[in-house]
Structure formats: structure tokens, C-alpha cells
Structure 1
Amino acid sequence: MTDSISSVLSQIRAYQSQLGQASRTGDVARGDAIQGLRGLQEPDKAGATGAPSFTETLRNAINGVSEAQAKSGELQAAFERGDPGADLARVMVASQQAQVAFRATVEVRNRMVQAYQDVMNMPL
């Protein structure tokens, strides 16, 4: 999950820098200047957009949560052993990241279950 957040942040920064360069040179940024959106806007020309499926996205998110929890556990154990590389601030930040990621995953699960129940209760 941390990798996906970092990826999104880096894309946003790249888009901001592209817009900043275009405004400094006097060029007007076009709506299709962002390459990531071009495939979404023109699916018939691009064919498959190359975006991961819902299953892959969900699997990657769950793996990210698992990795965050494992990293948090490793840092906690290192702090308990007195390892100088594991200070309290890093341990607490990793613990909070794992906790937030887990809560977000639980919320997504709850909403998916609710959506499934709503679909199953629809009259035919």
C-alpha cells in the first residue's frame, strides 16, 4: 500500500511539474497532456489500458498491508532488542502506518460486503 501511495504521489508531482513548466513558458496545457489519462479517455484507440484488474489491485493492497504489518513487527522487535537503528519515532510511525492500512482494508471489506448484500437483496 505504501508503494501505491508513493506511486500516486510521484505521479501528482510529475503532473504538477509539467503544468508548472507549461505555465512558465506560456504554453497552455491541453487536457490530454497527461499521458496516464490518455488511455482512459480513448479506450478504443489504446486497446487495453494496461491497468491492473480489480483482483490484482485488491491482492496488491492486501499484500501491502501485510508488508506494513511485518515491517512494524520487525521494527518493534528491533527496538525491544535495543537495536540503535530502531528508534521510538520510527517504530511508532511504522505502527501507525500499519494500523491505518489495516483499518482502510477493513473498511473496504465492509463496503464490499454491504454492496454484495444490496445486490443479493435486489428483486428480480
Structure 2
Amino acid sequence: MVTDKDGYMHLIQYLTEHLGIFETPGASSASDETVMELFEEQLSAQIIMVCGQNPSLNFEQRNHVIREIDAIVYDLEEILANVANRKATSEQTLFITEFSGLIKNLFDQEIAKLTA
């Protein structure tokens, strides 16, 4: 659905270009949550919005969306393995929020094609 699209590859490239945000040593954390916990929380919220905005999605389509999110989280765990369990800084929190919104946009585009 989205993980096999160019837009997703561009987002992963965008993330890798901004890894410095996550690898800054000694940055003070602004959150009690880790980097991966924030990614999971933000992506979950975005997907709940996607499904809520598209009540016409059938059970199979919703399951496909969930499997895609699982694949995205797996990719994020691979990319952020060295920093995933660190407490998130405010800069990281902003980036994670933005990135999760961009992931939602990918889903919005693909679901629009499905339901057109």
C-alpha cells in the first residue's frame, strides 16, 4: 500500500538525512518517553485518524493498513536501533510528530486511490 511506493522511500531517505537529530550526545530529554515509544504513539494516533476519516474501508483494508504500520515500525526500529531506547528531546519530538504526519499523508493518498 505505502511501503512499496516512492513516497515512502523518500520519507525513509528524509529520516536518514536527519539522523543527526537522534544521535546528538548529551542532549537533554524533554520527554519521559523513548524515541520509539513516541514514534509508535504518533503513528498509532495518525492511523486511528486515517481509519476514522475513512469509514468505508472494509475489514481487510483496515488490516492491510495495520500491517503496513507494523512494517514501518520495523523499519524505524532498524534505522534507529542505536537511539530507540533513549528519552526523546523536544527537537526529536517535533521531528517525530512531523514524520508521522507525513506517513499519514501517504496513507491518505493511497486510500483516496482505493476509494475513488
TM over 0.5: same fold?
no
Which one has the bigger helix percentage? 1
TM-score calculated relative to the size of structure 1: 0.29
TM-score calculated relative to the size of structure 2: 0.31
- Say which one has the larger Rg: 1
